Amino acid sequence: MAIENKPGVEFDTVFGRNDSLELSSHHDYETAQARIFKIIVIGDSNVGKTCLTYRFCGGTFLKNPEATIGVDFRERTLELDGESIKLQIWDTAGQERFRKSMVEHYYRSVHAVIFVYDVTSLSSFESIPEWIEECSRHSVGPQVPRIMVGNKCDLRDRREVPTSAAQCLADRYNFPLFETSAKDPTEKEHVDAIFLTIAYRLKSHKPLRLKQLSECNVRHLWNQREQEAATCQC
Ligand SMILES: Nc1nc2c(ncn2[C@@H]2O[C@H](COP(=O)(O)OP(=O)(O)OP(=O)(O)O)[C@@H](O)[C@H]2O)c(=O)[nH]1
C-alpha cells in the first residue's frame, strides 16, 4: 500500500480559511485522473476533527485551530494499487450554531463517515450514538463505510474513555475503531491508516463527478459559509 505525495498534491486543500477557491490547471489535471470520494468527519466540538484532517492532508499538527463554521474542505490524492483516489474530506462544525444550516449538505452523496470523539472527554464519547443517529436520519445506510476514531491519545493522564468501552461501542455498530493523536508526530502513520482503511473500502465504489462536487456544490457552500462567518456573533 502506497501513499503518493506528488508536489502540489500532498496538501491539496480545495480551500480552507485562507485558501483560494481557484483551482490551478495542475489541480485540474490531477483531479481529472483521480476518482473522487466525499468523506465527512463528524463529532462534538473540540474533539480534534480539524486537526486530524489537517494532519492527514497537510502532514503537520495545526496549532491554534479556530472553531469550524459550516464546513472546511481538504483533499488528498492517494495512489492505491496504481490507481489515483482523491479523498475530499469535509471537516464539519461540531457546534450546533455553526452547523445547523449545513447538515443536509454534509450528508448528501457522502461516501464514508468518520465519527470522532476525544478520549479525554467522556461526554464526547457518549455523543457518538447521537451522531450515528443523525447520520441514519439522513439516509446514510450500512453500505456507507463508517469508522470511529478516539483522538488525543497523547494526553494519557487525562483519559476518560477506556479502549474497552470504545471497542464495545464500535462492535455494537460493526465499525472499525482507531485510537490516535493528531498532535503526536509519531502517530502520523496511524492517522494515515484511518483514511487508507476507508480509501481501500471505497475503491470498488462509484466515484463522484469532478464538476458535481468541486465546482457547483462546493462553490455554493463556500458562499453560504462566508455569509455565516460574516454574521457570526462570536
Ligand atoms: N493534546 C491534543 N490536543 C489536540 C489534538 N487534536 C486537537 N487538539 C486540540 O483540541 C482543540 C480542538 O481541536 P479542533 O481540531 O479545532 O477540534 P474540532 O473538533 O475541529 O472543533 P470544532 O471545529 O469546534 O468542531 C485544539 O485546541 C487542538 O489544539 C490531539 O491529538 N492532542
* pLDDT tens track for 167-206: 999 999 999 999 999 999 999 999 999 999 999 999 876 5
Ligand 1 pocket residue status of 154, Cβ below 6 Å: yes
Phi and psi torsions of 165, nearest 5°: -65, -40
Ligand 1 pocket residue status of 183, Cβ below 6 Å: yes
Closest atom, ligand 1, to C-alpha of 151: 31
Q: Which residues of the chain have pLDDT under 50?
A: 1-31, 210-212, 215-216, 233-234
Q: Given the C-alpha cell 486543500, which residue does it identify?
A: 13
What is the ipTM metric for this complex? 0.99
Task: In whole angstroms, give the CA distance from residue 214 to residue 217.
Answer: 7
Q: Given the C-alpha cell 472553531, which residue does it identify?
A: 67
6 C-alpha to ligand 1 centroid (Å): 28
Closest atom, ligand 1, to C-alpha of 68: 23
Return the pLDDT at 224: 59
Spell out the domain ranges in the chain.
Answer: 35-204
Return the pLDDT at 13: 34
Q: How far is CA 150 from the centre of its chain?
A: 14
Return the pLDDT at 226: 59
187: nearest Cα among 163, 152, 157: 152
Cα dihedral across residues 190, 195, 72, 27: positive or negative: positive
Ligand 1 pocket residue status of 182, Cβ below 6 Å: yes
181 C-alpha to ligand 1 centroid (Å): 10
Return the pLDDT at 187: 97
Ligand 1 pocket residue status of 193, Cβ below 6 Å: no
For domain 35-204, which CATH number applies: 2.40.10.10, 3.40.50.300, 3.10.20.30, 3.30.1230.10?
A: 3.40.50.300
Which one-letter amino acid corresponds to residue 97?
A: R
Return the pLDDT at 204: 78
Residues 53, 56, 59, 63: what is their CA dihedral angle, to the nearest 10 degrees? 20
Closest atom, ligand 1, to C-alpha of 66: 16
